[in-house]
Chains A and B, each alone.
Chain A
Amino acid sequence: DAEITQSPRHKITETGRQVTLACHQTWNHNNMFWYRQDLGHGLRLIHYSYGVQDTNKGEVSDGYSVSRSNTEDLPLTLESAASSQTSVYFCASSARTGGTGELFFGEGSRLTVL
């Protein structure tokens, strides 16, 4: 079955370190998204991509970057981790173009920045 997997599921790091969260989907979806989930805020969009070599900023993109070198992967990098980036991160993908399609989510990556 097609799926979307995130790794690591849990990560503890220190302030100032670079961290990369991996996201891999086997749906062959063009669209991929990274959200962060914080209590009281729901899910907020960090970055998204509509295809290979395409990346776009979401509403909370400061301190994060992504790259899309193939269809399957959209890694999220925290250049210099900050305590404010302690959160649960969700990767998602969707198939439809020209409209809003259903998002398929990974199981999340819990990041703690000490």
Chain B
Amino acid sequence: AQSVTQPDIHITVSEGASLELRCNYSYGATPYLFWYVQSPGQGLQLLLKYFSGDTLVQGIKGFEAEFKRSQSSFNLRKPSVHWSDAAEYFCAVGAMEYGNKLVFGAGTILRVKS
């Protein structure tokens, strides 16, 4: 069965520091990959997505992610974190043969210290 692992439950970074959130997936096919962000009390907002083509994808709010098939990873990065980036981040994976369903990781809570 497909699965998504986000190894870090909590991450704390200083404002202005770089950020990398890890995501590993287990799929038997070419995956579609997503990162979503959830602010407290809110729904989920799409940051970026990968379907095919260039393995480095750019998203909103200055985020980017790189698909590495050999490592089954899709890590999210940001060169300089802002206090407003504090939120929970979810990696999600889908595949055509699994229909339109996405499988989500457990999430990583990002804290930003000033």
List chain A positions with a Cβ less than 8 A from chain B.
31, 33, 35, 40-45, 48, 50, 58, 90, 92, 94, 96-103, 105-108
Contact = CB atoms under 8 A, between A and B. Distances in A.
Contacts of A43: 44, 90, 92, 104
Nearest to B34: A102
Given A40-B106, A42-B105, A42-B106, A100 B46 contact: no
Contact of A33 (B6, B46, B101, B106): B101
Nearest to B96: A99
A64 to B, nearest CB: 16
B84 interface: no
B42 A107 contact: yes
B32 interface: yes
